[in-house]
């Protein structure tokens, strides 16, 4: 018969010590959880990043827009060349085409050339709004009144702005006014050009709706962006590249195609702009209300502006251009 195994010796107080150790551990965990919970409760919720709203008056312009190519036909500049050549005593010519800047106000633009110096003239494509002249002066410094052109007319170092009936007009010499640059003009010439333009604007106004069948593909998305039936259409081709512009008094959206390989200067910014999920490369610039991307040999700019300014989401710009993408790929 086997003898029973001896029981291990019981050390007095050990179970008590184990139980005490467990309770101390549990208590420590509970205190830690409580402190962590209170810390989480005290931490303020992270705020979403502030919305970026474009405040530019017009979107970035595609390279090469100077009136050499665009919408052909009579325009304000071609209507004043003879008068100005006689008045100024220098050769004044006009480049053959006009274009629109897709801004707010949206300006129909053309180029005068005075003895080799370029002067861009813009006339609002829609009747002007109360703040139109102020917007056209944005960033021009401190302007002075120019009573020769009316009570609202003003002149600054880079431009002249004035009203003709219900239209806003801007005259912009490439080298400014009285700045001493070789491609600039003096005050007297700026006034003479503006007076000649003022005289012809009423009879040179263009129809507000000028459309191209290719642009119709994006018409529904453009009207969704502006929130109404568009009042302005400016569709035309520059060297075969398509431009589509839709507008109202307080919103414009534009798709501008270019064949210039190096026409994404934004790519050289430091830091580089936010990448977009389209093109090689593609960029989204919320402060400009712009999506720009290269699709093969074509560079496409999609822009949206509103007054007062509101955020232009990337998805909105992608939706506007999506119906035309097969055309650009082809």
User: Is the model's pLDDT at 181 over the cut of 80?
Assistant: yes
User: Is the model's pLDDT at 155 over the cut of 70?
Assistant: yes
Q: 71-204 in CATH: which number?
A: 3.40.1000
Q: What per-residue confidence (pLDDT) applies to 221?
A: 97
Q: What per-residue confidence (pLDDT) applies to 259?
A: 73
Other beta carbons less than 10 A from residue 327's beta carbon: 15
Q: What per-residue confidence (pLDDT) applies to 33?
A: 46
Q: How many Å apart are CA 247 and CA 244, to the nearest integer?
A: 10
What is the band of 36 on the pLDDT scale with cuts at 50, 70, 90? very low
Q: What per-residue confidence (pLDDT) applies to 330?
A: 56
Domain assignments of the chain as residue spans, ordered by start: 71-204, 209-329
What is the band of 52 on the pLDDT scale with cuts at 50, 70, 90? confident
pTM of the complete model: 0.83
Highest mean pLDDT among 25-29, 46-50, 237-241, 273-277: 273-277
pLDDT mean across residues, the chain: 87
% of residues, the chain, pLDDT over 70: 84
Name the least confident of 76-90, 93-107, 152-166, 315-329. 315-329
What is the band of 51 on the pLDDT scale with cuts at 50, 70, 90? confident
Mean pLDDT, rounded, for 202-218: 95
User: Is the model's pLDDT at 274 over the cut of 90?
Assistant: yes
Residue 71's closest CA among 95, 88, 92, 89?
A: 95
What is the band of 10 on the pLDDT scale with cuts at 50, 70, 90? very low
Name the least confident of 25-34, 123-132, 180-189. 25-34
241-247, strands of its sheet edge to edge = 209-210, 232-238, 241-247, 251-258, 298-306, 290-295, 282-285, 274-275
Residue 303's closest CA among 292, 293, 315?
A: 292
User: Is the model's pLDDT at 29 over the cut of 60?
Assistant: no
User: Is the model's pLDDT at 329 over the cut of 80?
Assistant: no
What is the band of 25 on the pLDDT scale with cuts at 50, 70, 90? very low
Mean pLDDT, rounded, for 154-174: 97
What is the band of 31 on the pLDDT scale with cuts at 50, 70, 90? very low
């Amino acid at each position: 018969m086997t003898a029973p195994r001896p029981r291990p010796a019981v050390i007095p107080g050990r179970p008590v010590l184990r139980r005490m150790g467990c309770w101390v551990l549990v208590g420590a965990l509970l205190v830690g959880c409580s402190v962590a919970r209170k810390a989480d409760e005290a931490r303020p919720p992270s705020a979403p990043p502030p919305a970026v709203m474009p405040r530019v008056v017009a979107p970035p312009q595609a390279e090469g827009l100077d009136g050499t190519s665009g919408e052909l036909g009579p325009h304000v500049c071609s209507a004043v060349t003879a008068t100005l050549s006689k008045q100024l005593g220098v050769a004044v010519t006009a480049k053959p085409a006009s274009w629109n800047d897709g801004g707010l106000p949206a300006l129909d633009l053309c180029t005068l050339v005075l003895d080799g110096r370029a002067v861009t003239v813009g006339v609002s494509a829609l009747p002007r709004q109360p703040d139109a002249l102020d917007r056209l002066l944005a960033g021009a410094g401190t302007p002075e009144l120019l009573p020769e052109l009316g009570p609202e007319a003003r002149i600054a170092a880079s431009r002249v702005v004035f009203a003709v009936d219900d239209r806003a007009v801007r005259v912009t010499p490439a080298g400014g006014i009285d700045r001493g640059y070789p491609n600039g003009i003096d005050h007297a010439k700026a006034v003479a050009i503006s007076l000649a333009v003022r005289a012809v604007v009423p009879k040179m106004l263009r129809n507000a709706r000028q459309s191209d069948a290719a642009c119709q593909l994006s018409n529904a998305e453009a009207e969704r962006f502006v929130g109404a039936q568009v009042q302005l259409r400016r569709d035309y081709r520059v060297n075969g590249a398509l431009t589509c512009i839709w507008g109202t008094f307080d919103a414009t959206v534009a798709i501008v195609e270019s064949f210039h390989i190096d026409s994404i200067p934004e790519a050289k910014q430091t830091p580089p702009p936010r990448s977009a999920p389209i093109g090689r490369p593609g960029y989204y610039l919320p402060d400009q209300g712009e999506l720009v991307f290269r699709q093969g040999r074509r560079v496409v700019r999609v822009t949206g502006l509103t007054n007062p300014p509101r955020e232009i989401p990337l998805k909105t710009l992608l939706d506007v251009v999506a119906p035309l993408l097969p055309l650009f790929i082809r």
